[in-house]
Amino acid sequence: IIIQHGFYNLLTSQVTLEVTEGNSTCIKAELSASFFITYDTANGTRTVMVPLPGSAVVGVASSCGGDGRSPWLVALFGDGHALGLGFSSNDSLYSVANLTLQYNLSDVSNFPEANSTDVVTVETTSVGMVARVNTTYRCISASPVIVGGATVTFSNVTMEAFMTGDDLSPNESVCTADQSFTTAPPPPPSTTTAAPTPVPTPPGTPSQGSYSVSNSNGTVCLLARMALQLNISHFSASQNQTIQEVVNLLPNQTTSSGSCDPTSATLVLTQGNATNLSFLFTLNSTSNRYHLTGLSVVAAWSDMTGPFNTSNSSLDYQRGSLGRSYMCISEQTLVVDQNFSLNTFQLQVQPFGITRGQFAQAEECQLDQDNMLIPIVVGAALAGLVLIVLIAYLIGRKRSHAGYQTI
């Protein structure tokens, strides 16, 4: 567990929240959370990462429910921000029925240059936290929840609602993302002398997948075709050391989801419980150009000692014009941080301005343009060579002709 802790974003702290009524506790939650929020500034949109601070407190709006109301946990933090979780249950299961995020755009320390001072509230009913009644819900893996223009990423969660005692139940409902981890530590390597570092064999070129995101009315608003390869530096459970692992995303096991707003679009690719990759594109409505500004990943691979989780929201890749798609057939490496980079191949994306569900004319990346030059140069060189041989032949023929005539 100590090793695992090193994998979590150090900006987020573990928070303990408890809702009590009278002398009894009905909800207890220990968790880390961070928020990825997109907002408007005078010159376009911006995305920030706001962690749930250790100073978060339980708000008075929290309740244990009863009288037809459902239990409600509200965590207040910073200058008027709040995270709310509503619970519901039946005889066998309880779940987080809805999640509400409230953020105060007047808070210039978290939302610099916001053009609004509103307090924004967004809500979702797709949270995906379910546990058996009388058990503690446990999810160490990072799990993202999309709510409006924000993404909430929870990690290290132990939580129980509808509690019958004052302490968390020793019986647990473990989330599916955690079930891919072996709970027992791996056996120590049997070697006595230091063996050379075995490097995992790199996978071949990944295969191309086609992904799309639709609006609430079913209109396709984002299209992507690409082959992806993740390159993560993590601590290997089997080798007891940090390794560089390169893994291809398998398109036939990957699903896409996301959201589209006028100036921002997200694409979330999920491969089973193992890999979750989110792309954030923003459109600058002044210049009518878009680019990839954010990438976040949650990976729970079999050889990891805990889930790997990182993101960067100040990237500048895949620059294209509104009404055009962006294309890069050549391999491109998108560096997210020192431990994670994404290799893309055979890529075409269009995050804005899709008409009739099809890609618009493509703008080719510089690498492709450079690579296109090579065949042209080689072709020209070959043509030149053929010409020289031909001329040499003709001259030679003429000479030998001339030779015959003299005889």
Ligand X SMILES: *[C@@H]1O[C@H](CO)[C@@H](O)[C@H](O)[C@H]1NC(C)=O
Contact residues: ligand X, CB under 6 A: 22-23, 40, 42-44, 70, 79-80, 86, 88, 90-93, 97-98, 100, 104, 106-107, 115-116, 119, 123, 133-134, 164, 188-189, 202, 207, 215, 217, 219, 231, 240, 244, 246, 250, 252, 284, 286-287, 341, 343
The closest residue (CB) to ligand X is 80
Residue 142 or residue 147: which is nearer to ligand X going by CB? 147
Residue 14 or residue 124: which is nearer to ligand X going by CB? 124
Closest approach, Cβ 83 to ligand X, in A, equals: 12
Radius of gyration of the chain (CA): 28
Q: Looking at this protein, which amino acid is placed at residue 169? A: S
Residue 48 or residue 133: which is nearer to ligand X going by CB? 133
Closest approach, Cβ 162 to ligand X, in A, equals: 8
Closest approach, Cβ 398 to ligand X, in A, equals: 56
Closest approach, Cβ 135 to ligand X, in A, equals: 9
Residue 14 or residue 257: which is nearer to ligand X going by CB? 257
Nearest to 236 by CA among 179, 198, 280: 198
Closest approach, Cβ 104 to ligand X, in A, equals: 4
Residue 9 or residue 341: which is nearer to ligand X going by CB? 341
Residue 215 or residue 400: which is nearer to ligand X going by CB? 215
Residue 117 or residue 361: which is nearer to ligand X going by CB? 117
Closest approach, Cβ 110 to ligand X, in A, equals: 9
Residue 14 or residue 107: which is nearer to ligand X going by CB? 107
Residue 43 or residue 197: which is nearer to ligand X going by CB? 43
The three state secondary structure string of the chain is CHHHHCCCCCCCCCEEEEEEECCEEEEEEEEEEEEEEEEEECCEEEEEEEECCCCCEECCCCECCECCECCEEEEEECCCEEEEEEEEECCCEEEEEEEEEEEECCCCCCCCCECCCCEEEEEECCCCCEEECCCEEEECCCEEEEECCEEEEEEEEEEEECCCCCCCCCCEEECHHHHHCCCCCCCCCCCCCCCCCCCCCCCCCCCCEEEEEECCCCCEEEEEEEEEEEEEEEEECCCCEEEEEEEECCHHHEEEEEEECCCEEEEEEEECCCEEEEEEEEEECCCCEEEEEEEEEEECCCCECCCEEEEECCCCEEEEECCCEEEECCCEEEEEECCEEEEEEEEEEECCCCECCECCCEEECHHHHHHHHHHHHHHHHHHHHHHHHHHHHHHHHHHHHHHHHHC
Give 331's contacts (C-beta < 8 A, 6+ positions apart): 343, 344, 345, 367
Closest approach, Cβ 118 to ligand X, in A, equals: 8
Closest approach, Cβ 389 to ligand X, in A, equals: 42
Closest approach, Cβ 21 to ligand X, in A, equals: 8
